Chain A
């Protein structure tokens, strides 16, 4: 599984890329792999508030419908509209074109709760056992 070292991760298999006070959020390679072919993505609207550990979207695959949990609290500043028509981007390029939302952080101290790529890899290993 691909786990880029410049990202932070959650136990719910979301990734976060921090750029100043903006966080870009998506689901990890492990998540897209476990879900299988994504057929529908539901995202919040710009301006909505997302709360850490609260749901911010839904991914529907041929196997299941799964909630996506916000890794951090903040306001949605941009969503990846292209996923409406091309949900397969999440499978093809989960860390790039398959990103889901960008939020403006309201509580940067929450960053400490996220895992780095090493801890996430370790977590994946534990989980598979």
Chain B
């Protein structure tokens, strides 16, 4: 498919000369607002973590304008690891929130921690256990009652889109990962795009410029006195915006809804097939990803790292391991919507075969990988004695 008009456009073009680009951005903002339930969307942040930072800067700017930026940000232990970093860069102290036995945030815990020193609660929903925070609305109400904000980490939006609108259940600002949810495979290596959605209350503080439509034409409005300013040179990672736009148009609303359903179905299928062979630490059904760990294999002296390395011998790129931190030896499996049943079965068969090897011939795992170009790398030495020049 050719996009000559887009590929030949230049960042220095005047607004007049890039009407098509601006129209695409303008419409994409509206689509994302519709999908997420937010009043407004800003496309400029270049990655999920950049979206987090932008969102937290907006919250801080709002609170500062009210007279008190506040001191703390609450972050559950099941949130994405970038959340504390984003809040800390905005000069907030991080208060960790412990998950309960079901792997969810306990509203009572939030009630205890929430006060007028707390600027925001950053929630990843579904959280990194793949579990939907069922008390999201209730928790949001507790935070709002004390004048705080809910930052929603929308990296896992492929578990909600077409089914739940975070902006309608209490989230005030949220980033999207266009490079995960909209077209690019997860872990594709970038570039990223981390637009944010926000409620009208926070919108005066959104980054500039803002694309506006006037007399049938599109223009860039930089006259926003309360704005936190520019967050990215030029126009975000524009190529990613084109891709997300095309993806949304191609899939349509029903298609996006089905993507979510398939992502959730696939993760639960894997979870069911692996249950018993691998330890499943949380009993609740998951959304788009499932967590298993090495508790059963530990008795044979085999660890998650060995299992992950052995998967490479079976031709699979191993999943994220040792995250989330609240599950010792975690393996986080996110099949996404794209895999069919045959591929899911082959992957599960490989993991089940590896579990058998762990029992019968554990050394095979400890020496893995054996079929790759490089054998097991010494990660410890690489970290302790980094050699950064050739």
Contact = CB atoms under 8 A, between A and B. Distances in A.
Contact of A37 (B322, B323, B325, B380): B380
B322 A40 contact: no
A39 interface: yes
Given A62-B379, A63-B322, A64-B322, A39 B328 contact: no
A29 interface: no
A88 B325 CA distance: 21
Interface residues of A, number: 11
Nearest to B96: A67
Given A63-B322, A64-B322, A34 B328 contact: yes
Question: Among A60, A64, A66, which residue has the most Cβ atoms of chain B within 10 A?
Answer: A64
Interface residues of B, number: 8
Contacts of A88: 384
B383 interface: yes
A40 B379 CA distance: 13
Interface in B323-359: 323, 325, 328
A87 interface: yes
Nearest to A62: B379
A88 to B, nearest CB: 7
B325 A62 contact: no
Contact of B383 (A39, A64, A66): A39
Contacts of B380: 37, 39, 62
Contacts of A37: 379-380, 383
A85 to B, nearest CB: 9
A86 B36 CA distance: 49
Question: Among A37, A40, A88, which residue has the most Cβ atoms of chain B within 10 A?
Answer: A37
A40 B328 contact: no
A94 B290 CA distance: 34
Nearest to B323: A64
Question: Among B323, B325, B380, which residue has the most Cβ atoms of chain A within 10 A?
Answer: B380
A95 B249 CA distance: 61
Interface in A29-51: 34, 37, 39-40
Contact of B325 (A39, A60, A64): A64
Interface in A47-87: 60, 62-64, 66, 87
A39 B379 CA distance: 9
Shortest 5 CB-CB distances between A and B: which pairs?
Answer: A39-B383, A37-B380, A63-B322, A62-B379, A39-B384
Given A34-B328, A62-B380, 18 more contacts: A37-B379, A37-B380, A37-B383, A39-B380, A39-B383, A39-B384, A40-B383, A40-B384, A60-B383, A62-B379, A62-B383, A63-B322, A64-B322, A64-B323, A64-B325, A66-B325, A87-B384, A88-B384
Interface of B: 322-323, 325, 328, 379-380, 383-384
